[in-house]
Every structure is written in structure tokens, then in C-alpha cells.
Chains A and B, each alone.
Chain A
Amino acid sequence: MSERLAEQRLLALQRVTDAALSYLPLEEMLGELLTRVTELLNADTAAILLIDDDGRALVPRAAKGLEEEVERRVRIPMGRGFAGRIASLREPVRITDVEQADIYNPVLREKGLKALLGVPLMLEARLIGVLHVGTLTPGEFSDDDVDLLQRAADRAAMAIGGRLAERERGLAGAFQESLIPQLPVVPGVLLAGRYRPAGSAGLGGDWYDAFVLPTGAIGVAIGDVVGRGFHAAALMGQLRSAVRAYALDDKTPKQLLEGLSTLLRQLEPGWGATLLYGVLEPHLAKATIARAAHPPPLVLDADANASFVELAPSVPLAAVRYPEYEQAEIELAAGSTLILYTDGLVERSGESMDTSLERLRKAAAGSQEDPQRLSHRLLRTLRPAGATTDDVAILAVSVPELPDPFTMTLPVEPDSIALMRRVITRWLDGAGASPAEIGEITLASSEACANAIEHAYAPGATDFVVEASSAGDEVTVVVKDTGQWREPRGANRGRGMTLMEGLMDRVELHRAPGGTAVRLSRKLAVEAPS
């Protein structure tokens, strides 16, 4: 190489790391960087591929002369083809005959490239991506070229690395935040969830969700998408939506898992996830649960004895083409708590799963805490803060005994009626009513609720209140709304009132400017336990 040429190249190299570049937004900076690299090496194309944050593939982030590569978002698996080989060897790779070489990315061949040179982008011994250049004329990159490109790459890596980490940490936080669900407020049930990201920065794939089903039952889900990073987190968001869609469509836990498995295979081939879904019916003291390779839930019974729910072994979602899952029906009596969690809560390396589970069982047994305190304590004691490599999700649901008197506030929506019915049924059962009495009083109460919902045309009327109480052998249900009582109109409208009067001993209507209260009373045939 002539003196002059060497001098020119050195100057060009300095331009690659020009301080001015660092003020540009990331995409622009990468573009400018590539322009200068092509000038430096007299190349026709240049591209930067960065490791996807799941660490499994290279994704083109900027290109010159190969813009299509970026637009097509060709994901190049580690170890495969030209760029994949550079990444797994962490060494420069030269190709003199693209036609004959092992190339994964079709764009390189389509463009008619003849020779290629690529080097790893290393940041403090960590691989962050690959930088490569190509020529449309036959030839060979020299050892000097390799040396220059590697030096340019080292400096570029520093500029990229800091920016990426900063930007993605910010995004990751906001994204993860958006995926933490708002748990519903359900009368007669206490719910609490906790999520803790892995100690090492980055997005995880653990999640949980809980929601009220149209039948008044409660759907609960917890899952773990294999892998991490944005991709895993985004997939988790999709799975969560799909769980709700299937659940609202009245799928059983078994059907839901089978549907999701097929969906996941189609949505993201090659990805897997564990998941547990349950339909809780605390009013019937039962729950139906199915799992796809997820660790078993822990149940604390009314005496705080802890035991794991026995569930058949199963495969993760999308692991096989047509999986069959089994569901189990378990008892969920008043006073008990169901604890769902991801393996991050219990798993420790070099330890058997049985040992890990036993530690959780012991930690929970005997607890008198509500779900908030319990989930907080379990997380704190089983996963002390620090550098954990796995994220953790935990969801605890308890079914407390219903007090007497008992009050619940419900949104003014027809959906509330089914939910109210479930809770009042359970309360009446506790008050000693017979099955026939429970059916009749519950029906009368739901007619009063239907009225309350119909009356709620006043602005700001968003809730109504149901109070149940007993005195001696008489039970009373009061339904209060903030709307104006309207006389039933037409023959149809009167039937609700007919039912209330026919099924109860007394029906009293209290009208006030601030709202209406319907008071329903009935003596029970059997004396209620005091």
C-alpha cells in the first residue's frame, strides 16, 4: 500500500468515529457510519446487523446498497450463513465467490455481490452484532481491509452499544409496565399479582392475568414465554389477548390451551410457552384448571394447610402439532387461597424441582395473610433482591368467608347480575338457606339489581350497592341505586316486581331524591346458624 493511500485511509477511519456522529439519532448515525465505511474500503454495499435481544438471531438494522435487507427484516439465525458464521466464530470472514458460498440471506445474492468481508461488532468481549461490506466487482479483500474494517467496527460498536442499551432500557421499562394487568375488583374474592423482572436488565416473558367471565366466574392465567427480550415480551402480550378472547368465548381450560397451542404455532413458529389457565367458581367452591407444562398451583385450605394441585404432566404450548391437555376440577372452599407462580419463584440451579417446590410449600403453609401480603412475602423471601437471571410472576387468589352483614358494590352493567347472583348464593348458603330458598332469594335479588341497572340513567351513576344481612331466621337483601325509580311500563315490565313479591315475604321500596332502595326480606324455614 502506498504512503498516500495509507494516509487517506487513516483519515477516513477517523471520520468513522467522528464525534459529530454521536449527536445523530441512532438510525441516522448508523446510516452515516455505513456511508463512511463504504468510502473507506471502496465497497459497494455495507450493512450492520445487531443481535436480537433474545440472542438467537441477527437482525439488519442499517444498510447501504442493501436497503432491502432492512426492509425485509430477514432474521439470520446465529451460526447460519455468512453473518451468522461471523457471529458464532467472532472472527472476520472473507468470501471471494458469493455464488459458491454458504449464504443465508437471499438479498446478498440477488444484488449480485461478488466478494464479501464481515467482522464482529464486539463491546467489552460481548458480541452485539456484525458489520459487513461487499463489492459488485470480483476481487478479494486484503488483510489490510480486514484490519481496517475491524478497527472501524470496534469504534462503531462503542457508539452503538451505549445508545442501544440506553434506548432499549427505557423502552423495556415502559413496555413491561404496559403489560402488567389491572386486576378486577371482584366481590367476595381477593386478588393480588406481583411481577419482578430479572435482575439483569432486559425483558422477560413471564405474565399473569385475571378477569371476570360473562358467567360470573373468574378466569386466571399465568404463563412463561420461553426466551427473553422484546420479542418474548411482545409474544406474551399477544398470548394474553388470545387467552382473554378464548375465555370470553366460553372455552374450558382444556379447550383454551389446545386453541392457544395451535395459534402460537401459526403466529410464531419455533417459539414455546408454558401456561396455566383456571376458571374459578368460588360460589360453587370449585375451580377447573389445566396446564401446559407449567408448575402446579399451590392451595392453602381453610386451615392453612398447603398442598400442590395434582395435574397430569403436559407439553408446553406449540411443542407438538395437536396437543391434548387435561383439566382437573379442584375444591376451592371458603377460606382457601390459590397461588399461581412462574418457575422463577422457586427454581434454583443444581436443585431438583421437588426440593424447589417443597421450599415454596413450606413458606406458604400456615399463612393467615391476605393475597397482597402473601404474594409480597413469598417473593421477598424466596427471591431475595439481587442478580437473578429469571423474572418472576405470582398471582394469589383467596376466597374469604363472607361476613354478615355483607356489602358489595357493582358496576351498573348487566354483567354484574350474574356476578351478584354467584356471591349472594354463597352468602345465603353460609346463612343456612336451603337450596330452594337460595334459588328463590337469589332470583328476587337479581330482579332488584336489574331494576337498579335500568334506573341508572342519571349522570355519574356508575355503581349500585347490594347489602345482605340476617337477623334471627330472617334474611334481608337491600339493593340501592343512585337513579330514580320508574314505574314498570307494559305487561313485561311488571314481571320482575311480580317475582320479587311472589318469592319474598316482604318487598319495600324506598324512594329518595338521591336514589332508590329495594328491600327484600324472607324468613328461612330452617333456623340460620347464629
Chain B
Amino acid sequence: MNSDGIPVVGLSGELDIMQAPSLLQRLMAAADNRDIGLVVDLTEVTYIDSAGVNVLFEVAEALRQRQLEVAVVVPGGSLVERVFTLVDLGSVARLHREVEAALADVREVSER
């Protein structure tokens, strides 16, 4: 799915140490330089460990260098949200609870 230059990647299941290498490839390939940002939808993700978190940091930092904004959608009150708060993923990516809100946010930032 790609909404006006903002690809949305929906993930599901468990983003753990075993999944990390393929996750990195998938996210890095999701956006190119014609895009203005990337939305990673983790609504269906039940578990993420530090290896999964490290991938999100790496992707967000790399895309920022290319002037692309990264937003992550995560359900409120979930284990995944708790993890993001602890490691401060908000320092490199915009955190939202709905895909629509994430898209609107990325669009707005890029228009500034």
C-alpha cells in the first residue's frame, strides 16, 4: 500500500531476533527517494524484542538521512508500546495509534 508517496508496511506476529534480518531488508526496500515518508503499522504485532527495536532505529535513522520521515503505528496499552516508551523510539520516529493519523502527520511534516 502506498498513500501519496508514503508507503505503509503492515507487519504481524513476533518481531524477534530471528525475524530481525529479514525485517531490516523489507523496511529498507519499502521506500525510495521519490517517497516522502514511511509508515510502519505494528497493529498486528504481538511481540518485539531489542533486536526488532534496533531494526526500527536503524531504518528510521537511515531514512531521516534521506529526508524521509518514519511513523510507527502501535496500539495503546500494548507490550509493543511499552517497549517503545522504554527505549524512546519516539526520538527517531513519530509514534501513532492509527494509520490515518500517522499518514496525516508525515504529510504535514513534509510540507513544512
Contacts and interface: CB of A to CB of B under 8 A. Distances in A.
Q: Does B bind A?
A: yes
A450 B79 contact: no
A421 B15 CA distance: 13
A440 B50 contact: no
Contacts of B54: 492, 495
A446 B86 contact: no
A19 interface: no
B61 to A, nearest CB: 10
A440 B18 contact: no
B49 A439 contact: no
A301 interface: no
A214 B18 contact: yes
Contacts of A436: 79
B16 A503 contact: no
Contact of A450 (B14, B17, B47, B83): B17
A498 B49 contact: no
B51 interface: yes
Interface string A478-507: 000000000000011001101100110000
Nearest to B55: A492
Interface in B37-56: 47, 49-51, 53-54
Chain B interface secondary structure, helix, strand, loop or mixed? helix
Interface string B1-40: 0000000000000101110000000000000000000000
Contact of B87 (A214, A415, A418, A498): A498
B50 A495 contact: yes
A63 interface: no
A447 interface: yes
Contacts of B49: 417, 443, 446-447, 450, 496, 499
B87 A440 contact: no
Nearest to A490: B54
Contacts of B87: 495, 498-499
Interface residues of A, number: 21
Contacts of B86: 498-499, 502-503
Interface in B79-97: 79, 82-83, 86-87
B16 A418 contact: yes
Nearest to B58: A492
A290 B18 CA distance: 27
B112 to A, nearest CB: 28
Contact of B79 (A421, A443, A447, A491): A443
A447 B52 CA distance: 11
Contact of A440 (B16, B57, B58, B82): B82
A414 interface: yes
A314 to B, nearest CB: 29
B83 A499 contact: yes
A284 to B, nearest CB: 12
A155 B86 CA distance: 86
A443 B79 CA distance: 9
A503 B58 CA distance: 23
Contacts of A499: 49-50, 53, 83, 86-87
B85 to A, nearest CB: 8
B76 to A, nearest CB: 13
Contacts of B47: 421, 439, 443
A262 to B, nearest CB: 27
9 closest A-B pairs by beta carbon, nearest first, are A502-B86, A439-B79, A496-B50, A495-B50, A492-B54, A495-B87, A414-B17, A495-B53, A499-B50
Given A439-B79, A447-B50, 6 more contacts: A415-B18, A417-B49, A440-B79, A495-B50, A495-B87, A503-B86
14 contacts: A414-B17, A414-B18, A415-B18, A439-B47, A440-B82, A446-B17, A447-B50, A491-B57, A492-B54, A492-B58, A495-B53, A495-B87, A498-B87, A499-B83
